[in-house]
Amino acid sequence: MGEPAESVKLDSTSIEGLEELLVSAVDLPGVDTGSLAGPGWSLSEAAEALEVNERTVRRWIKQRRISAWKVDGPRGPEWRVQPGSTPDIQPVQSPPTVGNQGGNAADNLAEVILDLSAKLTTANEQLTAASFRIGYLEAQAEAHKEQVKLLTDSQHKHGRWSRFWSWFTGR
């Protein structure tokens, strides 16, 4: 009982010291690594400060529009938002209008036609792929039906007792 604990030998595959390497290699946009030690805003605090819903804050985090990171909380990992972080405002693009704008109307119309043509081509490719997939699946279903028929035919063999009974009775 008084023996010292067995010494642990570290091999070349040890992960000791990787924490410093990985923490220094983390590159969070807009967040300096010194601020990771601070508490930051919780989702509810960020939603209140930005005057939006928590779901909006989560969506902005997913879209990387605001700086955020995960920390261990009392009930599992929690998001923390950089205090003072504001979402990168992305302007809403209005659809091109066709009107009396001189030469720009023809350019806008040509852009709309090219865009719709590209979407139509993509949709046609997807439809063709779906048609091929449906054909393949129908062929697989037919093959499985044939296998089931073969299985049921092979299972109609008469057992020993029925063969014995037919021999015994002469039927």
Q: Percent of the chain beyond pLDDT 90?
A: 11
pLDDT digits (tens, 9 = 90+) for 36-71: 445 788 999 999 988 999 999 999 999 988 888 888
The Cβ-side half-sphere exposure at 78, using a 13 Å CA radius, reads: 16
The sign of the dihedral angle between the CA atoms of 118, 121, 127, 133 is negative
**Cα–Cα distance for residue pair 81/66, rounded to 1 Å:** 7
What pLDDT is recorded for position 82? 87
| Residue 58 contacts residue 49 (beta carbons within 8 Å) | no
Q: Which residues pair with 78 in a beta bridge?
A: 71
Beta partners for 77?
Answer: 72
Q: What is the pLDDT of residues 108-147, one digit of tens each?
A: 888 888 889 888 988 988 988 888 889 889 989 988 888 8
129 C-beta neighbours (distance < 10 Å), count: 10
Identify the band that residue 23 occupies on the pLDDT scale cut at 50, 70 and 90: very low
Give the pair of three-digit tokens for residue 64. Answer: 């990387």
For residue 38, give the amino acid letter: G
Cα torsion 25, 27, 28, 31: sign: positive
| pLDDT the model gives residue 27 | 44
Determine the pLDDT at residue 55: 94
Work out the pLDDT band at 161, boundaries 50, 70, 90: confident
Distances, alpha carbon 76 to alpha carbons 48, 57, 71, 124, 125, in Å: 22, 19, 8, 46, 44
What pTM does this model have? 0.33
pLDDT of 83: 85
Q: State both tokens at 10.
A: 């570290």
Looking up tokens 């279903």 gives: 141
pLDDT of amino acid 156: 63
